[in-house]
Amino acid sequence: FPEAVAEAKLLMMSSMNILLPASGRAIAVPSQDMILGIYYLSLVKEGVKGEHKLFTDVNEVKIALDMGQIDLHAKIRTRIGDRIIQTTVGRLLIHEILPSFVPANLWNKILKKKDIGILVDYIYKEAGYEVTPRFLDDLKNLGFKYATIAGISISIDDIRVPENKIMHISKSKKDVIEVQKQFSQGLLPEQERYNKIIDIWTEVNNKLASEMMELVKGDKNGFNSIYMMADSGARGSAAQIRQLSGMRGLMAKPDGSIIETPIISNFREGLNVLEYFISTPGARKGLADTALKTANAGYLTRKLIDVSQNVRITIEDCGTHEGIEITDITSGNELIESLEERITGRVIAEDIIDPISNEILFAEGTLITEEDAKVVTEAEVKSVVIGTPLTCKVENRLCSKCMDKS
């Protein structure tokens, strides 16, 4: 069955499945240790051996590194092509595995998970299937090698507790006593008392979290192991670091309501008996949900496939002028997905108008490219109406304009 073998190779080989069908972005990107190794390579350390030296090319840099004449994180100057650029030794090692057409602004910086994804996307768009798999392999090897050399691991000394913690907690306790006093005097209803106490502890928790992140960021000039793991996107988050060195904060009951007594201690200091007891319902709920919700998620996935497998794109344009207005997706102050990312590859259902000049930036029916999306962001447009399968007018089918580019 030579044809079947050839077809299976073409369709199923990992090197032929670099893009995610859902969004058209690269799915074959490094994770965890690989990201940590690349991030470590791209960091800068001030005042180290060999700083500000000038080198002819990357080979001279590698010889100096092997001889112990320069540090891996030293700022140096070297010639790349016909220009002399300022970079670091580690970033030059990353540049060495990159195809020659990759611009310096994509690699000559601290590379986090998102930046590495952008790099893979760029190389795939410029060079396709021939170059990208080889580059991904080289990136994997480089990441693992320098994650090992970095020797990054967790020490209790990496967990830095903010000095002002006791002061912030004392102030919050006084504020809570004041609220309780107002309630006992009949000045506050029960619900408002509860809300105010939750707000007090949430505010102090956020304050401690920001102070703690600044503390670990400045520790060892940005080479704090726990900070590197979270900042690179390899593992962990600011919320988890907060529980290690700030305060665990407010816990939820199994019914979703918040227990108004917070856990003031963190994992470094250790929890007392009451705090441990308060934290148990949340831990139990997490395990129970994992066991019970897996089946529901699998069943829903199956139902979605049953519903959508016969939906095909049959015509180019259904002629509808309807669409859905989309904006940035945010959670509190955190940006989950930007408008720029959401409109890339979509056809717009209404003209995009510059909010300052009132000029039409893009007319209805335009397919928005990455460059177009950047123009929309720079013009500070806050929302865009796009075509979507939800408003498509083709019966039992879809048109390509209501779907996205992918």
DSSP labels for 325-387? EE--EEETTEEEE-HHHHHTT-BBSS-EE-TTT--EEE-TTPBP-HHHHHHHHHTT---EEE-
On whether residue 211 sits in a domain, the answer given is yes
Q: What is the CATH number of the domain that holds 320?
A: 3.90.105.10
Same-domain pairing of 102 and 212: no
Task: Name residues whose C-beta falls within 8 Å of residue 404's C-beta, 6 or more positions apart in sequence.
Answer: 23, 24, 345, 346, 347
Which two structure tokens, joined as six digits, stand for 225?
């192991």
**Phi, psi (degrees; rounded to nearest 5) at 62:** -65, -40
Same-domain pairing of 131 and 168: no
On whether residue 84 sits in a domain, the answer given is yes
Same-domain pairing of 43 and 118: yes
Work out the angle at residue 235's Cα, subtended by the Cα atoms of residues 231 and 241, and round it to the nearest 5 degrees: 65
Per-residue model confidence (pLDDT) at position 406: 59
Same-domain pairing of 18 and 146: yes
Same-domain pairing of 131 and 200: no
Q: Distance between CA atoms of 69 and 201, rounded to whole angstroms? A: 52
Domain of residue 244, residue span:
156-282
Q: Which residue, of 91, 124, 150, is where some domain finishes?
A: 150
Q: Distance between CA atoms of 380 and 33, rounded to whole angstroms? A: 37
Which two structure tokens, joined as six digits, stand for 367?
């397919």
C-alpha 178 chain-centroid distance: 40
On whether residue 290 sits in a domain, the answer given is no
On whether residue 287 sits in a domain, the answer given is no
C-alpha 226 chain-centroid distance: 17
Q: Which residue, of 150, 180, 197, is where some domain finishes?
A: 150
Same-domain pairing of 72 and 181: no
On whether residue 354 sits in a domain, the answer given is yes
Residue at 91: amino acid letter: R
Local structure of residue 158 (DSSP, 8 states) = G
On whether residue 405 sits in a domain, the answer given is no
Per-residue model confidence (pLDDT) at position 163: 87
Same-domain pairing of 97 and 172: no
User: Is residue 261 classed exposed, middle or buried when 0-12, 13-18 and 19+ CB atoms within 10 A define those classes?
Assistant: middle
Task: Name residues whose C-beta falls within 8 Å of residue 191's C-beta, 6 or more positions apart in sequence.
Answer: none
108 touches 87 (CB < 8 A): yes
Same-domain pairing of 106 and 176: no
Residues of the chain under the 50 pLDDT cut:
none
Q: Which residue, of 103, 121, 150, is where some domain finishes?
A: 150
On whether residue 220 sits in a domain, the answer given is yes
Same-domain pairing of 143 and 171: no
Q: What is the CATH number of the domain that holds 170?
A: 1.10.132.30
Q: What is the CATH number of the domain that holds 102?
A: 1.10.274.100
Same-domain pairing of 119 and 160: no
In the numeric block, the tokens 């060079």 are attached to: 127
**Phi, psi (degrees; rounded to nearest 5) at 71:** -90, 150
Same-domain pairing of 223 and 249: yes
The tally of domains found in the chain comes to 3
Q: Please, what's the b/e burial string for 293-329 (b: 16 or more CB within 10 A of its CB; e: otherwise)?
A: eeeeeeeeeeeeeeeeeeeeeeeeebebeebeebeee
Same-domain pairing of 172 and 146: no
pTM for this predicted structure: 0.79
On whether residue 302 sits in a domain, the answer given is no
| pLDDT tens-digit series, residues 353-374 | 888 888 888 888 888 888 888 8
Q: How many CA atoms lie within 13 A of 353 on its CB side?
A: 7
Q: Which residue in 38, 36, 86 sits closest to 61, CA to CA?
A: 86
Angle between helices 33-42 and 132-150 (to 10 degrees): 80
